[in-house]
Structure 1
Amino acid sequence: MEKTSGPRVKQFSVFLHNRVGALLEIVKLLNANDVHVLALNSQDSTDSAIVRIIASDPEAVESLFDLHEIAYSISEILVVEMKEVATDLKRMLQGLLMAEVNILVCYPILIRPHGRSAMALHLDDQDCAWSVLSGEGFRILSQTDLSR
């Protein structure tokens, strides 16, 4: 089991009006300031969307969103590295089930840290999930792992 060190990964949840180009504006703002989107998830309704973003530089994202008055919230999430997606996904989900940890949101990471797939998980008990998944041999990635 590999012990991960470094800060936990931050997920930004951003409120956007459901209109053409709204997400592009956010991505362009981040890219113009040398911040890269590492993972992205969007849930929309008729008039609005909540976009979840994991970025290469969370501190810069906070500053940019504050400066541009973009509504957001921050959550700490787990990013779990998978060596073999076909078997590791099932094993990860079984571990969370046995620990009675509920998945609130999950989505894949766009980059491949260490050349492997990874899944972002927003859970109802982050600490329990961290302990269970680490105990099962999964590597939990830090913000440092993703920002390299």
Structure 2
Amino acid sequence: MSFGANSGTDFKTMRGRDFPAIRQFTVFLENRVGQLLEVVKRFEGTGIRIVALSISDAAECAFVRFVVSDPDRGRDILERSGLTIIESDLVGVELPDGPQPLLRVCTALLQAELNIIQAYPLLSRPHGEPAVALMVDNIESAQETLAGKGFRMLTEGDLIDREGLQD
């Protein structure tokens, strides 16, 4: 099984996980004009890009979900800002060429009896191909299933802004 650009790397993380996942941060914001801008501005000048974004709006608050190019530094910025955050793991998968690539991903997960809880596109294309971030009910099984079906899995290393590192 090969995962992303760092396939020769041991994926053991500080959280004790043994697989290449993409971290998502959920931030709770007051439902007022300008709140999203205030959070996005916190990344200005840091070299960290927001590579995926999803907003769920409710009457009193909004849940903003981010994937950033450098999750360790991104978490630090969000925590120092005093924001309440939740960290979750997602599956990153490139969509294959051909008609209905998302149908192929969903079919593979259905065959393995895996549920997709959240899904949204990645704004960056690490290898020039469209990709999605998926929250599933069993991440290890989803990664094994998708990799076994020939899908290219993305890791946090694939999301690093290589151009930003040269500044």
Question: Does TM, normalized by the shorter one, top 0.5?
Answer: yes
57-66 vs 38-47, greater mean Cα deviation: 57-66
Count the aligned residue pairs.
148
Ranges in structure 1 where 5+ consecutive residues have no aligned partner:
none
Choose which of 19, 26, 29 in structure 2 pairs with 1:13: 26
99-108 vs 6-15, greater mean Cα deviation: 6-15
CA distance in structure 2 between the aligned counterparts of 1:67 and 1:28, rounded to whole angstroms: 14
Q: Which residue matches 2:3?
A: 3
> Does structure 1 retain, via aligned residues, the 8 Å contact 2:55–2:65?
yes
> Does structure 1 retain, via aligned residues, the 8 Å contact 2:3–2:155?
no
Q: Mapping of 1:90-129 within 5 angstroms? A: 90-129=103-142
> Does structure 1 retain, via aligned residues, the 8 Å contact 2:3–2:154?
no
Q: Identity, % of aligned pairs?
A: 39
Q: Which residue matches 2:69?
A: 56
| Structure 1 residue matching 2:127: 3-state secondary structure | helix
Once the two structures are TM-superposed, the CA of residue 50 in structure 1 deviates from its matched residue by 0.6
CA RMSD, Structure 1 to Structure 2 (Å): 1.5
| Structure 2 residue matching 1:100: 3-state secondary structure | coil
Structure 1 runs, 4 residues or longer, greater than 3 Å off: 1-7
| Structure 2 residue matching 1:115: 3-state secondary structure | coil
Classify 1:132/1:14 alpha carbon distance in 2 versus 1 (closer, same or farther; 3 Å).
same
Q: Which residue matches 1:46?
A: 59
Q: Which residue matches 1:69?
A: 82
52-61 vs 4-13, greater mean Cα deviation: 4-13
Q: Mapping of 1:21-32 within 5 angstroms? A: 21-32=34-45
Classify 1:43/1:61 alpha carbon distance in 2 versus 1 (closer, same or farther; 3 Å).
same
Once the two structures are TM-superposed, the CA of residue 88 in structure 1 deviates from its matched residue by 1.9
CA distance in structure 1 between the aligned counterparts of 2:130 and 2:101, rounded to whole angstroms: 10
CA distance in structure 1 between the aligned counterparts of 2:39 and 2:45, rounded to whole angstroms: 10
Classify 1:139/1:32 alpha carbon distance in 2 versus 1 (closer, same or farther; 3 Å).
same
TM-score, normalization by structure 2: 0.83
| Structure 1 residue matching 2:54: 3-state secondary structure | strand
Q: For 1:85-137, what per-residue CA distance to the aligned partner results, in whole angstroms no more than 9, with x for missing partners? A: 63321111001111111111000000112110000001110011001100110
| Structure 2 residue matching 1:59: 3-state secondary structure | helix
CA distance in structure 1 between the aligned counterparts of 2:121 and 2:44, rounded to whole angstroms: 20
Classify 1:88/1:35 alpha carbon distance in 2 versus 1 (closer, same or farther; 3 Å).
same
CA distance in structure 1 between the aligned counterparts of 2:3 and 2:38, rounded to whole angstroms: 37
CA distance in structure 2 between the aligned counterparts of 1:61 and 1:107, rounded to whole angstroms: 19
Q: Which of the two has greater helix per residue?
A: 1
Ranges in structure 2 where 5+ consecutive residues have no aligned partner:
12-19, 163-167
**What letter is aligned with 1:120?**
A
